[in-house]
Amino acid sequence: MLKISYIMQSYLGSYETQCSSPKAKLIRAVNSVLNQKHENVELVLVSDGCPVTKKIYEIHFKNNPKVKFAYVDKDVNLTLNLKPGERFYRGVPREVGRAIATGNIITYLDTDDYALPTHALTLVRDWTNALSQNKDYLFCINAAWWDHVSIKHQTGDFKHLHPGSKPTKIEGLESEWIISHTLGGKFSLNTNLISHRANLPQGVRWKDETKINEDTAFYARFKATDPHGERTFQIKQPMYVRCHAWDSIAGKPYWDF
């Protein structure tokens, strides 16, 4: 039976695009992992220069054997004194999480999002099926997820509703949600949609980036080792709920639950 390791990078300092109630959402995100219907899971919670995350871990999760913790003491000028337009770097904490993780399959969840109770079960099922067809598969990107129902009224980036998707309630969350999916067969590079085997090729690592999204850079490093996509596959089952989406033009969230 495959073991699933979740890596959750956490920084709860002040920055423009942060969700509301970040402490409560972090606890909710951790519990969504701990409440998976597949029991063979672990969570590696990595605090990125965030003493608040460390305190929450010590109060709520320190005695849970499924939760591991690491504190990455990064440059205070990049983590605690952000200015408008500055980026918060998240590569190194995720690589620290990878070093600690013991699962066969590694996946990721942001602190303001929510893993469905069947998230790990879906990963185990689809990875098992994929590996039975090709034992060399190393990387997977999911092509579907849950967005808030208000997506129906958005334009631009949000023209990616799943055909026939209808508003529905999600266990453990308020309001209604609707399925979105990757457009045009292109891989989405949202961290929450990435899973991979523990034994990626040498040099495929998370790193802090200044000119490119960390997710894009991480996948690009793997893709360079797999130019024809022979070790990559997709999952089209929505497994996680995007609970916070930021409108950079309006300077406010599209939604924040």
Please choose, from the candidates 92, 190, 197, 210, the residue with its C-alpha nearest in 3D space to the C-alpha of residue 147. 190
Take residue 244 and report the two structure tokens written for it.
């916070």
CA–CA separation, 220 vs 226, rounded Å? 10
pLDDT given for residue 16 in this prediction: 79
CA–CA separation, 253 vs 247, rounded Å? 5
CA–CA separation, 178 vs 170, rounded Å? 10
Within 8 A by CB and 6+ apart from 214, the residues are 89, 90, 91, 94, 191, 206, 207, 208
| Average pLDDT estimate for 91-117 | 96
Does residue 99 carry a pLDDT above 70?
yes
Take residue 125 and report the two structure tokens written for it.
């099922």
| Average pLDDT estimate for 32-38 | 97
pLDDT classification of 160: cutoffs 50, 70, 90: confident
CA–CA separation, 32 vs 55, rounded Å? 19
pLDDT given for residue 155 in this prediction: 65
In this structure, which amino acid lies at residue 191? T
Kindly report, residue by residue over 68-95, the tens digit of the pLDDT: 999 998 665 554 455 555 556 778 899 9
CA–CA separation, 214 vs 191, rounded Å? 9
| Lowest-confidence region among 27-31, 85-89, 148-152, 253-257 | 85-89
What torsion do the CA atoms of 90, 176, 127, 65 make, to the nearest 10 degrees? 60
The answer to whether 249 and 153 are in contact (CB under 8 A) is no
DSSP 60-95: IITT-TTEEEEEE---HHHHTS--TTPPPP-HHHHH
Q: For the chain, give the mean pLDDT.
A: 89
| Lowest-confidence region among 109-113, 118-122, 211-215 | 211-215
Output the pTM of the full model: 0.93
